[in-house]
Amino acid sequence: MVNANPYQLSAERVVEFCKAAKLWTKGTHDLSLTQANRAKALAQKLNRFLPVAEGMSDGSLSFSPPVCHGEQGTGNGTVMMTRIEDGGEVFVHASDIQMLSDEAIEIILAWQPNAVIASGPPIYLPGLTLKKQERALHRTLQLAKEVDTLILDHHLMRSKKGEQWLDSLSSLSGHKAVCAADFMGRRRRLLEAERVLWYKKVPVPEGWHEAYARDELDTKPYQRFFDAQGF
């Protein structure tokens, strides 16, 4: 990101890597003004044109038309999904669809993937009513029954309720529905869902974030603590 904060990857660090790299990017016409400005700033920083790949195919890669970034009509813009085929296997990166779009699910099923990774629904948000959660579950079950492996993460694993939702989905579908940690054979570490608990156990002193931004501190003490906890 251009003008990245201390917790983000700065575009400055990848400029050299991107000079000759082939890029496939999402268009800016249906993004928010902030998102569109970020894309334009990135193109300027990289000093190159960012080709729009929506709805296009390039060898083993295929890209979806714009699909809803979560729920339709919320003003969150759209995202682009990617299909990758290799050796007869098909993998789909479905991005931040949150299982809240019928159109996105239809496109994925038409791609006939073996494995899919996507953002699960944001169960923690008050605006996601029980009815909307039921619709999200219906869509996800529809997808889970058609693929060998469905990996759901991002929004879904930000809460304990989301974790329970995932485990229930796996039982209902009878297929492999997992989070990213499960897929990698790693222990689940829901630090965001347990944020209040960990801030109590490992308090951050006043002024720490400002000092970190000035490169006066680093995260090594916290890394050592979590290493000792088996993380």
Confidence of residue 231 (pLDDT cuts 50, 70, 90): confident
Q: Per-residue pLDDT for 10 more than 80?
A: yes
Q: Across-strand partners of 117?
A: 93, 151
Q: Does 150 share its domain with 89?
A: yes
State pLDDT tens for residues 119-168: 999 999 998 999 999 999 999 999 999 999 999 999 999 999 999 999 99
Boundary (domain end) residue, out of 37, 52, 67:
52
Q: Does 149 share its domain with 114?
A: yes
Secondary structure string (H, E, C) spanning 18-59: HCCCCCCECCCCCCCHHHHHHHHHHHHHHCCCCCECCCCEEC
Q: Does 9 share its domain with 103?
A: no
pTM of the complete model: 0.89
User: What range does the domain containing 44 cover?
Assistant: 1-52
Residue 99 and residue 140 in contact, taking contact as beta carbons nearer than 8 Å: yes
Give the number of domains in the chain: 3
